Amino acid sequence: MRRTAAVLAAASLVLAGCSDEPAEVTDDDVARIEQSLEQGSELAWELTQAEARVAAMCMQDQGFTVHDRNLMHGRMVPHRFEGFDSPYARIPTVEQAGKFGFGHWVFATETDAALAMREDLDYLDFASAEASWDDPAEYEEYLEWKALGEDYQREWLDAFHGPERAAYLEERNSGGGEEPADEPPFGGCELEAIEIVYGEPVHLEREWGSFWARPDLESPLTWVGDGELYEELSVQYIDQEQAFLDCVEERGHGQWRFDDFGYLPVPWYVGQFYEGGASVEGVEVPALSDAAEDADDPVAFEFAMALDFAECAESAGLRDGAEETWARMYVEQMIDREAEVYAWEQQIEDYLANAQDHLADE
């Protein structure tokens, strides 16, 4: 069993430095830390898939060949870090708007163009900032698993979770078990996979009871006070933001505002163009413009609106240095903890090596 050496924890204290003075961030610092976080994010996703393969081998030994793979990695889907993109980067560029619109139509329609775009590498790169890690084959296998019927599913769950934990989870998922309770420990192939990959599960105590979990795979530095960073960015770009919002209103799209994290509710607004669009309940979304409500072709209107937003962002100056400023602000928050980023990445690599070693031996 490979484990991260304890010296890494000590190294994080030494390398972090003792000065209270803000660290001076260089372009090399930004590039290095960005690359490290991207690599760690990819490794964490690869790890969840490796754990599922370890569990699948255990289940196959018991005669189960079709699986709910989402359960096999505990539904742990790590955050997808795609770089230091500022909130303004969510507004498409003129080139992106011309090719993708806002990208909502790609999954809101079933046209040949939409189906082809789902596999377009440029689109996938454009959409990656908004997407989580995803494996379409996992969902397809889940549908196959569901189609095998309740008897197969129940036997599968007993073998995977262990009978005691499977019964507890079934009761909880059915709405029972709301009183504080101690969750049964992992069992079955789930426990075997956790022990192979992570060494052992984590037992946590809370006021409402205790529960068992896998080690947290999320980088402690993937999220660094984005709301606070946006406040700083907005102070520097307040004139550009207002110029953008005025431009959007002048082009007939109503009154918009950036939220506390610098985001615009574009997905909820555009979702209303299409049948079965996302609910806007609980989200502050501008009222649909008359042009949007009267549009005969929602896809064409989405493209036109995206182009308006893109041109307004460019003319207002939201493209002028915002990405570089955001990246530097982000790294300033974490550079004194760079060793912690490294230690986390090494831990993920060790867990992954455990899984790969086991799979290679089978």
Q: Is 185 helix (H, G, I), strand (E, B) or coil?
A: coil
Query: What phi, psi does 206 have (nearest 5°)?
Result: -135, 170
Q: Which residues contact 353 (CB under 8 A, 6 or more apart)?
A: 2
Residue 234 in contact with residue 302, Cβ under 8 Å? no
Q: What is the side-by-side order of every strand in the sheet holding 181-182? A: 181-182, 209-213, 202-206
Give the torsion sign (CA, 99, 101, 103, 107). Answer: negative
Give the dihedral of Cα atoms 309, 311, 314, 317; nearest 10 deg: -70
Token pair listed for 37: 């976080």
Q: Is the dihedral of CA 45, 47, 51, 54 positive or negative?
A: positive
* d(C-alpha 153, C-alpha 308), whole Å: 50
Query: 33, 167 in Cβ contact below 8 A?
Result: no
Tell the burial category of 38 from Cβ atoms under 10 Å away from its Cβ (0-12, 13-18, 19+).
middle
Each of the 362 residues of the chain gets a pLDDT tens digit; together they read 433 333 333 333 333 444 455 568 899 999 998 888 888 888 989 999 999 999 999 999 999 999 999 999 988 887 778 788 899 999 999 999 999 999 999 989 999 999 999 889 899 888 876 666 777 778 889 999 999 999 999 999 999 999 999 999 998 887 765 565 788 999 999 999 999 999 999 998 887 778 899 988 877 666 565 568 889 999 999 999 999 999 999 999 999 999 998 999 999 999 999 986 666 777 889 999 999 988 899 999 999 999 999 999 999 999 999 999 999 988 888 888 888 888 888 999 999 999 999 999 87
